[in-house]
Amino acid sequence: MPKIEKMKEIIEVVRYTIPAVIVFLAAYFLLKEFFFQESKKREIDIKLEKIKLSLPIRLQAYERIILFLERISPANLVMRVHKPGLSAADFQKTLVQTIRDEYTHNLSQQLYVSPKVWEMVKSAREEMIRQINTSAAQLTEEATSTDLSNKLLEMSMEKLATKKALDFLKDEARQNF
């Protein structure tokens, strides 16, 4: 008889233990899934907050780069920087220095745009400097700033270095915003 009673006791313990284990496992997996979902929600909220904070800064970066490209375009650059009475060589130095200064002022904007856009901006800057130097090289030593301005504007009519970068920048901005 004692064996039967022990068996009954074991069966009785198992009857209570198995449901308890099942309830424990169900609660464990449900809570695990709940906390996982809450964690995902928190991550999404953090990402949305980051986007909310960075969006105005990124838009401002696109605006500043567009402004930079417009400011170094030949017509705008010549009109803004031209000083009557300068020699072509002095005007060339002034134009190149102005482009370099503008570029340096906007270097931090590369943080907010794609590497491709920044490469296009650098290429536009280099192309504009090359156009200025090429135009100056085609003039005589007695040439004036007006002569260089005219030559630069003539050359830029054929191919505007900043136009391609501007178009690409605007396309990327439209896609991102």
pLDDT classification of 62: cutoffs 50, 70, 90: very high
Measured CA to CA, the distance from residue 92 to residue 133 in angstroms comes to 7
* Closest among 111, 126, 107, 134 to 164, alpha carbons compared: 126
pLDDT classification of 59: cutoffs 50, 70, 90: very high
Measured CA to CA, the distance from residue 106 to residue 95 in angstroms comes to 17
Check pLDDT > 90 for residue 177: no
φ and ψ at residue 87, rounded to 5 degrees: -75, 160
Q: What is the pLDDT of residue 120?
A: 94
- Per the structure, how many domains does the chain have? 1
Task: Read off the tokens for 59.
Answer: 């838009």
CB-CB contact of 162 with 132 (8 Å): no
CB-CB contact of 65 with 169 (8 Å): yes
Check pLDDT > 70 for residue 1: no
Q: Which residue has the higher pLDDT, 175 or 122?
A: 122
pLDDT (tens digit, 9 = 90+) per residue, 63-108? 999 999 999 999 899 999 988 889 999 999 999 999 999 999 999 9
pLDDT classification of 176: cutoffs 50, 70, 90: confident
Q: What is the pLDDT of residue 54?
A: 84
Domain hosting 72: range is 2-176
Check pLDDT > 70 for residue 18: yes
Rounded alpha-carbon distances, angstroms, from residue 118 to 56, 101, 111, 172, 174: 19, 17, 9, 11, 16
pLDDT (tens digit, 9 = 90+) per residue, 125-163? 999 999 999 999 999 999 999 999 999 888 877 667 788
